[in-house]
Structure 1
């Protein structure tokens, strides 16, 4: 089982957390075999995406998580 993860949530007040969209309790997880793999992906997820307009930013809260053995 993959142990190192990234929890993805919406920031408070996000338009996407409206009930007819993702909802206020939406969250997602991505799991990785190694801490290094997670850290590389986390760094990539924290940068602005090239297809966004200048000044726009991804609205997400990223958090490191680990599963217990």
Structure 2
């Protein structure tokens, strides 16, 4: 699902993989996703690369189970 944010064209969709424990109905649910929007493609790409790196609040070796997708709104 893409939310309507016409002033920002470039986004990153964050989803959880199928069969992830967090997709349980009492947690996030199987269709959970969030979209972060950015003013420029360069800002989006920088944030995307940062999101791929090891999160600072995770223990070494822990890997977040998320799927990231670059998206762009159509004008």
Cα offset for 1:51? 2.2
Counterpart pick for 1:13 among 19, 27, 39: 19
Q: So what's the TM-score if we normalise by structure 1?
A: 0.94
Find runs of 4+ consecutive structure 1 residues off by over 2 angstroms. none
Paired residues, number? 69
Q: Which runs of 5+ in 1 are unaligned?
A: none
Q: So what's the TM-score if we normalise by structure 2?
A: 0.87
- Bigger CA drift: 8-17 or 46-55? 46-55
Q: Deviations over 1:16-61 (max 9, x none)?
A: 1110000000000000010000000000000111321121111110
